[in-house]
């Protein structure tokens, strides 16, 4: 490739921009700037030789940079410019500086996102300008333009507020359009599932509406759902669950349910009970005070209307379930407390608490009829004689207690019948299990050749006393049988003992003597070590049957017998290993030597 001529290179070099003016930065200013980015108080910056430069190294590098800048720039022909960090740390750029000074805005308007979506907050439009001379208009326009140029082309406070109001109107209009679009999709829904899916999207948008508009939109939206669904009460219940999850206010929910066009489930069904439980939770939120101690205003009329709407069909049919009656009485209580929450005294709430505790503790008084009724009469007499409760609350208590008493009687009857049925159903299973276990005991005794000939034809239909007699005889036979190992005999006797304890059969001295013979006497005779836990269990069984004196004597004989055996084993072991008389021989050593098993 042909190189460009030398004249072109010189021309390009002559077009280069002049160098930037030299900037003199004092060492103190540079150090203060660096100290803003580095922690000067750290100990690792004061040590020489560290990878982090300390103050001395920073000062040396600053002097080196200053000398390099002075050597690369001309020393004459420039004045003292302003301080510019871009010229110090940034790359060089030719021409005029790219920044421009702009005065701060005087607008104090808040964030336009915080403006509520209400068209009433929009300021009125300015009046139409009247007819003025053209010169006046031109002069005002030029003055306005000069003011705008002086303030760096920033809008004034009035224009900022007008722009924020226009943004709020646009957001409100867009939100209204989105809600209308969702409502159209709700109207075109063909089944309940698609309607509820669009209803969830509508709930997310409706949270941004004012309360009054939200209630109207809810009634309009649910009306479209009732038109496509045959089971309107079930749809009402599912909508109520979604409103509860969305944390709608109880007052809005009560007003919506009290509308005449909203169908409710029948209270004799499972859906009706679910409805009452949801309403109880909502009414609790409505009556209880808020976190700041104030009470929620309104809602009493909606609760009363809703209560009449729920209770009227039941009163006409004269059919009341126990759970339904209890929840309805609870609604009446809440209506009463809502009306008198400022006038009713603390004793009313104490009586409510007493009733709750009383109804939960009546389980222990079901068999004591006299005590049960006496407590009810005593409490009602105290309530009537008290001046703190008004007539309405006393009447509510008189109506509530008989209803709960009838419910308790019904529950007691059902519990008795259920208990008898469960005992009868479990009796067959228990008898069958006992027969299977007794047959296994007989088969095991036949295989071990310990079953006496008088019991060879014994069947599982034997009565309980006959079974106890056979078990005692088998235990005695196992204890005197030396053809089997002591471990096998002990397992067989343990199975017999478990059968006696499981079915409450009597244990006689013949069985305890067999236990002592197998667990203690035979084991010690065969030089087997018996631990204290086994001895304690055998002594406990002997004490239950033969008395504490016999058990104490057996325990004494065991310790004497065991002590003599260990002493004899120690003498033999010392003679074998050649130890002196003062050294103790442990049980493990005796087992290694074959003296104990």
Residue 165: CB partners within 8 Å, gap ≥ 6?
Answer: 115, 121, 122, 123
**Sequence spans of domains, the chain:** 19-89, 448-522, 527-597
Residue 97: CB partners within 8 Å, gap ≥ 6?
Answer: 84
Enter the tokens of residue 510. 């013949």
Q: What is the pLDDT of residue 118?
A: 43
Enter the tokens of residue 263. 């169908």
Q: What is the pLDDT of residue 485?
A: 84
Q: Which residues in the chain come in under a pLDDT of 50?
A: 44-45, 109-138, 140-157, 314-320, 340-346, 363, 365-370, 389
Q: What is the pLDDT of residue 316?
A: 42
| Distance separating alpha carbons of residues 408 and 376, to the nearest angstrom | 13
Q: What is the pLDDT of residue 540?
A: 92
**Cβ 182 vs Cβ 221: under 8 Å:** no
| Distance separating alpha carbons of residues 332 and 287, to the nearest angstrom | 12
pTM of the model: 0.32
Q: Treating both helix axes as pointing N-terminal to C-terminal, what angle do 464-479 and 391-447 enclose, rounded to 10 degrees?
A: 50
Give the chain's radius of gyration (CA, Å).
50
Q: What is the pLDDT of residue 315?
A: 46
**Cβ 52 vs Cβ 46: under 8 Å:** no
């Amino acid at each position: 490739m042909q190189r460009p001529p030398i004249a072109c290179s010189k021309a390009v070099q002559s077009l280069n921009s002049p160098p930037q003016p030299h900037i003199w930065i004092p060492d103190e200013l540079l150090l203060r700037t660096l100290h803003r980015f580095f922690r000067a108080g750290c100990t690792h910056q004061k040590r020489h030789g560290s990878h982090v430069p300390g103050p001395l190294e920073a000062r040396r590098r600053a002097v080196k940079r200053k000398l390099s800048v002075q050597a690369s720039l001309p020393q004459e022909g420039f004045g003292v410019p302003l301080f510019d960090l871009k010229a110090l740390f940034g790359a060089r750029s030719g021409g005029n500086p790219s920044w421009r000074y702009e005065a701060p805005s005087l607008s104090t308007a808040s964030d336009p996102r915080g403006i509520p979506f209400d068209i009433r907050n929009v300021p009125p439009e300015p009046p139409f300008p009247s007819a003025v001379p053209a010169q006046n208009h031109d002069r005002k326009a030029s003055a306005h333009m000069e003011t705008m140029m002086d303030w760096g082309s920033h809008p004034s406070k009035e224009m900022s507020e007008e722009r924020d109001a226009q943004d709020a109107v646009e957001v409100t209009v867009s939100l209204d359009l989105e809600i209308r679009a969702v409502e159209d999709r709700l109207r075109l829904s063909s089944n309940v599932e698609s309607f509820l899916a669009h209803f969830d999207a509508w709930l997310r948008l409706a949270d941004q509406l004012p309360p009054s508009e939200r209630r109207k939109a809810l009634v309009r939206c649910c009306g479209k759902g009732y038109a496509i669904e045959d089971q309107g009460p079930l749809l009402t219940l599912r909508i109520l669950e979604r409103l509860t999850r969305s944390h709608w206010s109880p007052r809005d929910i009560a007003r919506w349910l009290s509308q005449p066009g909203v169908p409710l489930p029948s209270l004799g069904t499972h859906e009706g009970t679910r409805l009452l439980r949801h309403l109880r939770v909502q009414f609790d939120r409505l009556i209880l005070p808020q976190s700041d101690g104030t009470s929620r205003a309104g809602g009493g009329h909606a609760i009363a209307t809703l209560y009449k709407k729920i209770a009227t069909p039941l009163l006409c049919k004269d059919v009341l379930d126990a759970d339904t009656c209890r929840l309805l009485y609870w609604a009446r209580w809440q209506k009463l407390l809502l009306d008198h929450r400022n006038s009713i005294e603390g004793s009313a709430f104490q009586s409510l608490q007493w009733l709750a505790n009383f109804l939960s503790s009546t389980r222990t008084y079901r068999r004591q009829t006299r005590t049960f009724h006496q407590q009810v009469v005593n409490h009602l007499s105290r309530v009537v004689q008290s001046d703190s409760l008004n007539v309405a609350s006393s009447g509510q208590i008189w109506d509530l207690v008989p209803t709960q008493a009838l419910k308790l009687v019904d529950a007691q009857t059902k519990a008795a019948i259920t208990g008898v049925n469960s005992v009868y159903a479990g009796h067959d299973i228990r008898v069958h299990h006992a027969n299977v276990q007794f047959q296994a005991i007989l088969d095991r005794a036949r295989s071990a050749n310990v079953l006496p000939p008088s019991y060879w034809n014994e069947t599982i239909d034997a009565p309980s006393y006959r079974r106890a007699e056979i078990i005692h005889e088998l235990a005695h036979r196992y204890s005197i049988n030396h053809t089997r190992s002591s471990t096998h005999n002990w397992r067989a006797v343990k199975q017999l003992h478990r059968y006696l304890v499981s079915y409450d059969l009597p244990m006689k001295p013949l069985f305890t003597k067999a236990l002592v013979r197998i667990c203690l006497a035979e084991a010690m005779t065969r030089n087997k070590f018996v631990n204290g836990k086994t001895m304690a269990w055998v002594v406990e069984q002997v004490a239950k049957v033969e008395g504490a004196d016999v058990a104490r004597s057996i325990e004494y004989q065991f310790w004497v017998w065991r002590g003599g055996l260990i002493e004899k084993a120690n003498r033999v072991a010392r003679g074998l290993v050649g130890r002196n008389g003062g050294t103790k021989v442990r049980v493990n050593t005796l087992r290694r030597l074959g003296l104990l098993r």
